[in-house]
Amino acid sequence: MTKSVSYKRHRFPSEIIAHAVWLYFRFPLSLRLVEEMLLERGIVVSYETVRRWALKFGPDYARRLRRKRPSRRDIWHLDEVVITIAGQKHWLWRAVDQDGYVLDEIVQTRRDTKAAKRLLKRLLK
């Protein structure tokens, strides 16, 4: 088993460190963007500090954020959205699981339900 990393002797509370590391690993953000997001909330921290937190606490958070293997009990469904691209209607089909993660998506110029169902069947395999 891996032991958890301690937040002792850090200037900021564990909630702020956890939020900064979570932002960095959960979303495709740069260290400077995480720094700016924290600054908007009134927390002055440098991007270098965020980098050190990511190196120290990151593997633990990354392990927890990794997707679990899909099981037969997972609930998946298809979302259909009509979008306009360059003035033309297109249909966006997305396969989404119960946690809200997009598994796959296709964009079609005409509505083809059979192709969208094939997408979901391929994912289920």
List, for residues 26-76, the tens digit of each pLDDT value: 788 899 999 999 999 999 999 999 999 999 988 877 776 666 565 667 777
Domain residue ranges of the chain, discontinuous segments joined by +: 14-65, 76-124
pLDDT value at residue 68:
58
Integer CA distances (angstroms), 33 to 51, 57, 59, 60, 68, in order: 12, 18, 20, 21, 28
Element (H, E) at 94: strand 88-97
Neighbours of 38 (CB within 10 A): 21
